[in-house]
A = this chain, B = another copy of it.
Amino acid sequence: MPPPTRAARKSPRSYHHGNLRRALLDEALATIRTEGVEGVTLRDIGARLGVSRTALYRHFADKRALLAAVATEGFGMLRQRLVAAWEEGGRGDAAFHAMGVAYVRFAVDNPAHYRVIFGGFVDPRAKEPELAIEAQGAFQALVDAVAALQRDGVFLKDDPVHMATYSWTLVHGIAMLAIDGQLPEPIGVDELLRYSFKRMRTGILAEPPGPRAKR
C-alpha cells in the first residue's frame, strides 16, 4: 500500500490511476498557485501526473470544466475559513471583522486561485450546479453572521441578505484591487481593512442623522 501522502502521482506500472480526478484537481490547483491560470496546460498537467494529455477528458468535459471544479473547491475553502473565523472569533462584533480579514487574506494569499473563482472563467448561471451551490454556501456563512448580529442588536435590523451582500461586495472589492495592485500607493491592505470596517459601522456622513428614522 502506497503511503497516503504523495499518493497523487501514478505508480509507474499500473495502467489505471485510481484517483485521477482528485489528482488532476490537486495538480491544476498547484499549477495555478505557482504559474497562474494561463500556465495551466492539459499536457503539462498530464505529464506531471505521469498520464497522457487526454486522460483528463474521462473526468472533465473540457478545460473549462476543470477550472470550474477548481473554482468550486475554492468556494468551499472560502466558506470553511469564514466559518472558522466567525466561530473562533466569538460570534460577535469582532468575529465579523475577523471574517472580513480572513476573506481578504484568502484572496491575497491565493491570488491566482481567487481569480479563477471570480475572473469570469466560469458562469454560475450556466450549467454548473455544484459551483452555484458552493458559492451559495460561502455566501450563507456571511448571511448567518449578519443575521446573528442583527438578532443580538449589534447591527440594525435590516434585511440580512441585503446587508450581507453589502459587506460581501466591500471585501470583494478590497481583495480584487489588492490582487490587481490597484490600491493607491501608500495604503496597505490591513490598513484599508481597518479603515473600511470602521466606516462601514458608522458611516461616512459628518452629521449622523438625528433620531434614527425610517430612512
Contact = CB atoms under 8 A, between A and B. Distances in A.
Nearest to A179: B120
Contacts of A154: 205-206
Contacts of A182: 118, 124, 135
Interface size class of A (residues with CB under 8 A): 35 or more
Given A135-B182, A182-B118, A206-B155, A172 B161 contact: no
Given A119-B119, A153-B206, A169 B187 contact: no
A31 B85 CA distance: 43
Interface of A is mostly: helix
Interface of A: 111, 115, 118-120, 123-125, 135, 139, 150, 153-158, 161-163, 165-174, 176-177, 179-184, 186-187, 192, 195-196, 198-209, 212, 215
22 contacts: A115-B119, A118-B176, A118-B180, A118-B182, A119-B120, A123-B181, A150-B206, A155-B205, A158-B204, A161-B187, A163-B199, A165-B187, A166-B192, A166-B195, A168-B173, A168-B177, A176-B176, A199-B203, A200-B203, A200-B204, A201-B203, A203-B203
